[in-house]
Each structure stands twice: as structure tokens, then as C-alpha cells.
A and B are shown apart, each in its own frame.
Chain A
Amino acid sequence: MTSTLWAPEHRGPLTVTDDFLVLDDPAEQQAFTRPAEPGETACESVLMVQGMYCAACADTVESALAPLPGVLEARVHAATRRLVLRWDPGATQLSRLARAVGEAGYRLLPMAQALSVDQRLKETRQALWRLFVAGFCMMQVMMYAWPAYVAAPGDIPADIDQLLRWASWVLSLPVVFFASGPFFRSAWSDLKRGRVGMDTPVSIGILVTFLASSAATFDPTGPWGHEVWFDSLTMFVFFLLGGRYLEFKARDRTAGALDALMNRLPETCERELADGRLERVSVRRLAVGDVVLLPAGQAFPGDGVLLSERATVDEALLTGESRPVERTAGESLVAGSFNLGGPVRLRLSGLGQDTRFGQIVRLMEQASTEKPRLALLADRIAAPFLVLVLLAAAMAGLAWWQVEPARALGVAVAVLIVTCPCALSLATPAAMLAAAGRLARGGVLVRRLQAFETLAGIDTVVFDKTGTLTLDRLGLQALVVRPGADRSATLNLAAALAQGSLHPASRAVVSAREADALASGEPLPALVDRTEQAGRGMQARTPDGRTLRLGSAAFALAGTVAQDDGQPPEAPRVWLADDQGWLATLVLSEVLRDDARAAVQALQALGVRCWLLSGDRQAAARQVAGRLGIDRVVAQASPERKLDELGGWQRAGHCIAMVGDGLNDGPVLARADTSFALGHAAPLAQAQSDYVIQSGQLMDVVHTLVLARATLRTVRQNLVWAALYNAVCVPLALVGWMPPWLAGVGMAASSLLVIGNALRLSRP
């Protein structure tokens, strides 16, 4: 993507440790695989590629697959991140292919809606086909109509004029009877339900114009007058179809991005067989009554009854209560909640759609297809407005019938066409879809279109600290060494001691040494007799006999005094000492995300307050806030306290966007006016936020906010334009100053203007 706003990067490999074997399960495969040709052994699978950010990625995935045995064809669609794979089940396995793609840095997920993708492709083709038929016929009809517009009366012989009319009539047939099909169908279904929809006046307009023009063609002296409007008719249909096609494409693109969020690798779990042995099966294969064994950290695949003595579960998704809950044998467990304790046995009592989790997923899916409130409002206004339009057209026709019967029909058709509130109903969804599509391409998934409206109105962004503003590790803030000691040599000594230890402080020392250009240029000194005392520190000897200790003050310094390092007393530290006592103090601090400072500053420049809401200690939270320029900090907040604080701020009149990543942020994310979850966030946190930032870049919050404001601006422009247009054109049409062709141009132009204005949002 050529984009200046987004900086798409290639991510490192996603989890290649996934259990891809589940892809080989025929029960799983039937959802996204089918025989390529009837009777052939080759299969065609539709899969979702995760971790793709640009067109070149598509190529990487394809070339990772192409040389593998058994792969017949691999095609990746960059915009929608879909892979269509033709492969030979006799020669390879899907899990092997998925692993190869995983090694290339991407993840293959089955598309649960593979068959609906097929459907979507068919619909796209059909829409394009109708558009082309209408467009090409329109061009030719225009050419036949051209002489009538430019010639002086009497210039065209009557027989040629009649020939041109017949030709126009023939080419209008496919436009009316094929290309306009969707309008008639939707108008008919509205009619059956006793409603007036957007397509009702459109259909009446098309039919009346066509019938009147046909009558004028074949019976020029009849009661229908001599006028033909084939050119207006075909143009009207073409522009209308063009608008729908653009809207359809925008929706398709956005849907592709949403699929990525909804599709997750199906999990496997261990099922107990009758003889007590365990077998690993796909979750989809489980049946009610099965006994399954779940390790700690996994989500329950279905509702069930606990067979083990006790279990600790996290039901935050269902209850909003993120504190672990204790369950004892015989009590029921709900699908989607997490097992936090040891392995648990349970007997399944409900699966899939029947569980409460299934209902929540359905709600999420509904949310993604819901109409934004502004669009609903427009639709509500549109329905009575349409009735008015029909009445106005009929009245205008009747009135003109009294005055000048020859023009009555023309006026009625012009009123019908010019007032069609397509622009009004397109104004909001077109803009929001375009914005959602742009965000999706930049790696931000929008889960509720509604959220744009809220986000544009926020005045405060509240950040979680750990994992959101900071990375989940420590870094070296300052290094103070004994006078006379060499800085990089000392750092190397500390790193040599720390190497191999899993303590966060040790890892910080090792990575600080790797990041230091001077120190990492030299080899690590060799040490002997290295021992680690858990929670205290490491000890070792250099080959020349010096004893080194790295760790807490009590352990390392052994009574000697360290030089003052000038850092705040609450910062975490490790000390290094040798036989002469104190050698160095390493002051550690949390590592801020690269763009945390820039994001906070950009938000403040946009007039949005930034606050910090953290469960961590006061000192740590204040320190991070100070480094970032955040002025309001609430620390040591339990999930309940976080909710209380947030509720208090909201009652005080603040409109709040929450940015978080942890499981414990789930409730606040759901409570905030709008919310962002970072891409590495727990699935539950993602499920409860409006935006998911896949890249984990905080600058994306800023970009999304800017785009949300632009979107609302566009929506307002569109609504104002649609209202103005109707206010001006309806009176003109009523008094007969607007011929049907001009009405068609006006209506189509206003719809195209609205869509075009919306599509500006999808351009960087």
C-alpha cells in the first residue's frame, strides 16, 4: 500500500506453535474445502491469511506454497487476505502447508464462511454484469438520442426518427428487464410487506418512463404523447447501479477484514474414551455427554458439569467479573470461560450455538452488520418521505393533466426520480464503510460502525499501563559504575552473570548489553561456577579467581555501600559487586512502547486529555505517566475500582475512549464510551472493544481518532447536501422546470457525489 499515514510493517512470525493438525480433520475441512471439480481428487480450500499487510505479502505467501509437493495452485487476494488453495489430498496435508506458511511469518486460518465467500464472488460478478449491460446500452441509446437534441425541427426525416426510436427501445429492453432487476425485486418485497422502500419510487419511475416511451414509440399519435425518454431511463439505471456497486465493494472489503477477527483457529481438546484413554479431537467433533480433560489456561469448549473436585475459572466474558471464581464438583461451567487452575475434567452438557458463549458470538456478529444510528435515523426519515414523494408525484401529474396533459407524465416522472432519497440513505453508511475499509487496510479492525460517531466526540483517552503504554518487560534506565571501572566491561560482566536466568531483571541486563554498541562489540567474559539463588541473585567466578555477585542489595553488596545513583528510590535496581565490594548499580525501568510518547503528545495536540488507569503500584504508574506527560493517574486499581473510576468520570460528563490489552481490562473496555484493544490482547478484551489495533502501535489510536472525526465531518456534509438538493429540486420539478432527463442526472449526480465524498475517506 502506498500510504503516508500508515506505516505498514512486516511483523515477526506469528505463533507457529499452533496445533495445525486440526486442519486435517475432515469434520473441520468440510466447512472450507470442497472438491475442485466434481469427480476429481484435487480439493479447493479457502483460508484466511493472518499477518498480511501489503500486496507484497501476498506474493510471499504464494511463493512459500507454490514449490511444495501437492500444491496445484495458490492464489492470495491482497485486499481481502484470502487464500484460495488448490491442493491434492493424496500428496500432502493441509497442516503441512499451514506450517510452511507459518514459517514464512503468516498464519493460515480456516474461513468459517468459505461458502459465503463463494456466494459473495458470485454476487460481485452479477453486480458488475448488470452495471456493464446498463452502461453499454446507455452509451448506445445516448448516441441514438443525440440527433434529436442537436437537430433543428424538421432536419431529421420522420422515418429515420422512428428508426432511432425503435433502436433505442430495443437497447432499453435489457436495461429495464435485466439490469433493473434488483430494484423491482426489492420494491416488490417491500410492497408485499406493505411498506414503501427506497426502491419503490425508483421502480415506478423506471416502469412509467419505459411504458410511456414505448407507447410513444409505437403509437406516436396516442394518448401518451410523442415524447420518449429512453436516454434518461438508461442513464438513470446506470448511475443508480454504479452507486450500488461502489457501496457493495466498500462493504465487501470491510467484511473481509472483519472475517479475520471472527475466524480463529479451532481448538482441540482431550476427550476421555470409554476405557479411560485420552484422544485429541477437534472441538467440533465433541458431543454432548463427552468427558473432556482441560489443561490450565484453556477455554471451556462447551457448557458442562464439573467432575474434578474443584476448579478456578474466569468468567469475565459472561459476568464482567474478572476475579477468578471457585467451582466445586457437580457445579456447572460455561463455555468460553477460562480454566485458571490445574487440569479439569468435565462432562459436556451444551455445545456450539446452544451455549451462552455461542449467543455472545452471535451478538458480536450482529453488531458488525448493524446499521449506525445516524443511518437508522436517515432510514426512518426516508420512509414517510417516500410516501410524500409518491403523493407529490401523483398530485403534480394530476394538476398538470388539467393544465397541459402532454406534460403531465413528464412532470410526474421527474418528481419521482429527482426526489429519490438515495443520497440521504447512502450518506452515513457509505462514509463509515469507507473509513472502516481504510482502517482495516491499516491494521485496525472496526467492530462496530457506530463507534465512529462516539469516537469523534470523545474528550479523554484513558490508557491502561502494563502491556499498553509499556512493553511487558524491563529495560536498563541508568548504569552507575565504581570510579575507575570500565562501563562496557562492567555491563559485559553483569550480562555474563545474568545470562540464562529467567528473572525479568536478568533478561533486562542481557538485552541492555545487546543493545549497547560498545559492550556487544566485545565477547562475553567467560565465568565459572555460576550459581543462581532464586529471588536473590547470581554468583560466579572469573577465571582469574575474582568472585562476582549480581542481584539484590542484601545479596550482592554484602554490607558494602553503593554510590548514590541519583534515580528515584522506588525504581527497581540490581547491584553488581566483586571482591572489593560495590562495582555497579543497574537502575531498571519499564520499557515504554516506541510510539507511546508521540501518541500521547499527538492526542494532546488534538485537544484530547490523556489519563492513566493502572492496576500497578502508585510509584510505577507515576513514573510512566511522568515520562509520557500524562497528568492524571489512578494507580493500584482493581478491576472493580477501574469500573468505578470510569463510571465517575463518565458521570462528570467526560466522553471516554479506553485503550487496553489485558483480560482484566475487559469490563472497562466494555463500559467506556468507545474502546481500543491492542492486537496481542486477550481474545476477551478484543471481543469487548470497538476497535482492534492489530499492529499494537499506539499511533494507530491517533490515526483512528483523526479518521473518525473526518468521517463524521463527511457524514454531515453528505446529509446537508442531500437535504439541500431535495429542497431545491423538488419545487423545480413540481413546476415543470425540470425534464425527466435532468432529474435523472440530478439524482444520480447527488448519489455519486455522496459516495465520492465518502470514498475520499478511503484514500490516505
Chain B
Amino acid sequence: MDILYLLIPLSILVVFGVIALFWWALQGGQFDNIEREGERILRND
């Protein structure tokens, strides 16, 4: 069970990593208009 002492802190780091990744995506404007990709199917080209 000692491995939990490594895995649980590691999981916390992973969570913060994912949150940072989302921050980057959000600030890049990827979520500003989420309908847009779905509407691309209506495009002619």
C-alpha cells in the first residue's frame, strides 16, 4: 500500500495539470462559440 503515498500526490498533480490545460484552451477562445464546429457541416466547401 506504500505506493499510494506516491500515487495520490501524483494524482493531485495530474488534476492541476489538466486544469492548466483547460485554462490554455479556454483563453485561446476554443470555447467561445462551441456551436461553430457543429455548424461547419452546413458549409459549402
Task: State which of A56, A58, A125, A133 has its C-beta within 8 Å of the C-beta of B19.
Answer: A133
- Segment touching B, from A24-32, A159-167, A602-610, A670-678: A159-167
Task: State which of B4, B36, B39, B43 has its C-beta within 8 Å of the C-beta of A160.
Answer: B4
On chain B, the residues within 8 Å of A143 by CB distance are 11
Chain B window 12-43, contacts with chain A (Cβ cutoff 8 Å), 1 for yes, 0 for no: 10010011001100110001110110010011
CB distance from A485 to the nearest CB of B (A): 51
B32 touching A171, Cβ below 8 Å: no
On chain B, the residues within 8 Å of A163 by CB distance are 4-5, 8
Task: State which of B1, B26, B35 has its C-beta within 8 Å of the C-beta of A55.
Answer: B35
CB distance from A155 to the nearest CB of B (A): 11
On chain A, the residues within 8 Å of B31 by CB distance are 125, 128
A129 touching B35, Cβ below 8 Å: no
Closest residue on chain B to residue A121 by CB atoms: B32
Closest residue on chain B to residue A144 by CB atoms: B8
CB distance from B40 to the nearest CB of A (A): 9
Instruction: Give CA–CA (A121, B18) in the complex, Å.
Output: 23
Task: State which of B11, B33, B43 has its C-beta within 8 Å of the C-beta of A140.
Answer: B11
A125 touching B4, Cβ below 8 Å: no
Tell me whether A323 is interfacial, beta carbon within 8 Å.
no
CB distance from B34 to the nearest CB of A (A): 10
Closest residue on chain A to residue B38 by CB atoms: A55
On chain B, the residues within 8 Å of A170 by CB distance are 12
Known interface pairs A59-B43, A163-B5, A164-B8; A125-B32 also in contact (CB < 8 Å): yes
B23 touching A171, Cβ below 8 Å: no
On chain A, the residues within 8 Å of B15 by CB distance are 136-137, 140, 171
CB distance from A50 to the nearest CB of B (A): 19
CB distance from A177 to the nearest CB of B (A): 14
Closest residue on chain A to residue B4 by CB atoms: A160
Task: State which of A58, A79, A160 has its C-beta within 8 Å of the C-beta of B1.
Answer: A160
A56 touching B42, Cβ below 8 Å: yes
Tell me whether A562 is interfacial, beta carbon within 8 Å.
no
Which positions 111-129 of chain A face chain B at CB distance < 8 Å? 121, 124-125, 128-129
Closest residue on chain B to residue A54 by CB atoms: B42
On chain B, the residues within 8 Å of A56 by CB distance are 42
On chain A, the residues within 8 Å of B39 by CB distance are 55, 58, 78
CB distance from B6 to the nearest CB of A (A): 11
Chain A window 160-197, contacts with chain B (Cβ cutoff 8 Å), 1 for yes, 0 for no: 10011001001100100000000000000000000000
CB distance from B43 to the nearest CB of A (A): 6
Closest residue on chain A to residue B8 by CB atoms: A167
Tell me whether A157 is interfacial, beta carbon within 8 Å.
yes
Instruction: Give CA–CA (A56, B45) in the complex, Å.
Output: 12
Known interface pairs A132-B22, A171-B15; A59-B44 also in contact (CB < 8 Å): yes
On chain B, the residues within 8 Å of A171 by CB distance are 12, 15
Known interface pairs A78-B35, A78-B39, A124-B32; A129-B23 also in contact (CB < 8 Å): yes
Tell me whether A96 is interfacial, beta carbon within 8 Å.
no
Tell me whether A10 is interfacial, beta carbon within 8 Å.
no
Instruction: Give CA–CA (A164, B27) in the complex, Å.
Output: 32
Tell me whether A373 is interfacial, beta carbon within 8 Å.
no
Task: State which of A78, A79, A128, A144 has its C-beta within 8 Å of the C-beta of B26.
Answer: A128
Tell me whether A77 is interfacial, beta carbon within 8 Å.
yes
A136 touching B19, Cβ below 8 Å: yes
Task: State which of A59, A79, A136, A144 has its C-beta within 8 Å of the C-beta of B18.
Answer: A136
Instruction: Give CA–CA (A121, B11) in the complex, Å.
Output: 32
Chain A window 81-114, contacts with chain B (Cβ cutoff 8 Å), 1 for yes, 0 for no: 0000000000000000000000000000000000
On chain B, the residues within 8 Å of A77 by CB distance are 33, 36
Chain A window 51-70, contacts with chain B (Cβ cutoff 8 Å), 1 for yes, 0 for no: 00001101100000000000
Instruction: Give CA–CA (A133, B33) in the complex, Å.
Output: 20
On chain B, the residues within 8 Å of A124 by CB distance are 32
Instruction: Give CA–CA (A129, B25) in the complex, Å.
Output: 10
Closest residue on chain B to residue A129 by CB atoms: B26
On chain A, the residues within 8 Å of B22 by CB distance are 129, 132, 136
On chain A, the residues within 8 Å of B35 by CB distance are 55, 78-79
Instruction: Give CA–CA (A655, B44) in the complex, Å.
Output: 49
CB distance from A248 to the nearest CB of B (A): 14
Instruction: Give CA–CA (A750, B8) in the complex, Å.
Output: 34
Closest residue on chain B to residue A139 by CB atoms: B15
CB distance from B14 to the nearest CB of A (A): 9
Closest residue on chain A to residue B23 by CB atoms: A129
CB distance from B42 to the nearest CB of A (A): 5
Instruction: Give CA–CA (A167, B18) in the complex, Å.
Output: 16
On chain A, the residues within 8 Å of B5 by CB distance are 163
CB distance from B29 to the nearest CB of A (A): 9
On chain A, the residues within 8 Å of B33 by CB distance are 77, 79
CB distance from B38 to the nearest CB of A (A): 8
Chain A window 440-451, contacts with chain B (Cβ cutoff 8 Å), 1 for yes, 0 for no: 000000000000
On chain A, the residues within 8 Å of B1 by CB distance are 157, 160
Instruction: Give CA–CA (A125, B27) in the complex, Å.
Output: 8
Instruction: Give CA–CA (A164, B42) in the complex, Å.
Output: 49
On chain B, the residues within 8 Å of A58 by CB distance are 39
Closest residue on chain A to residue B15 by CB atoms: A140
CB distance from B2 to the nearest CB of A (A): 10
Instruction: Give CA–CA (A79, B36) in the complex, Å.
Output: 10
Instruction: Give CA–CA (A157, B18) in the complex, Å.
Output: 30
On chain B, the residues within 8 Å of A132 by CB distance are 19, 22, 26
A59 touching B42, Cβ below 8 Å: yes
CB distance from A78 to the nearest CB of B (A): 6
On chain B, the residues within 8 Å of A78 by CB distance are 35-36, 39
Instruction: Give CA–CA (A167, B22) in the complex, Å.
Output: 21
CB distance from B18 to the nearest CB of A (A): 6
Closest residue on chain B to residue A140 by CB atoms: B15
Known interface pairs A129-B26, A160-B4; A167-B32 also in contact (CB < 8 Å): no
Instruction: Give CA–CA (A121, B27) in the complex, Å.
Output: 11
B43 touching A167, Cβ below 8 Å: no
A55 touching B19, Cβ below 8 Å: no
Known interface pairs A129-B23, A133-B19; A167-B11 also in contact (CB < 8 Å): yes
CB distance from A284 to the nearest CB of B (A): 30
Instruction: Give CA–CA (A128, B19) in the complex, Å.
Output: 12
CB distance from B10 to the nearest CB of A (A): 10
Residues of A in contact with B (beta carbons under 8 Å apart): 55-56, 58-59, 77-79, 121, 124-125, 128-129, 132-133, 136-137, 140, 143-144, 157, 160, 163-164, 167, 170-171, 174
Closest 9 CB pairs between A and B? A55-B39, A56-B42, A167-B8, A140-B15, A132-B22, A55-B42, A77-B33, A59-B43, A129-B26
Given contact pairs A55-B42, A171-B15, enumerate 18 new A-B contacts (beta carbons under 8 Å).
A55-B35, A55-B39, A56-B42, A59-B42, A78-B35, A79-B33, A124-B32, A125-B26, A125-B31, A128-B31, A132-B19, A132-B26, A133-B19, A140-B12, A157-B1, A163-B4, A167-B11, A170-B12
In the complex, 18 of the A-B residue pairs with CB atoms within 8 angstroms, ordered by the A residue number, are A55-B39, A56-B42, A79-B33, A125-B26, A128-B31, A129-B23, A129-B26, A133-B19, A136-B15, A137-B15, A140-B11, A140-B12, A143-B11, A144-B8, A157-B1, A160-B1, A163-B5, A167-B8
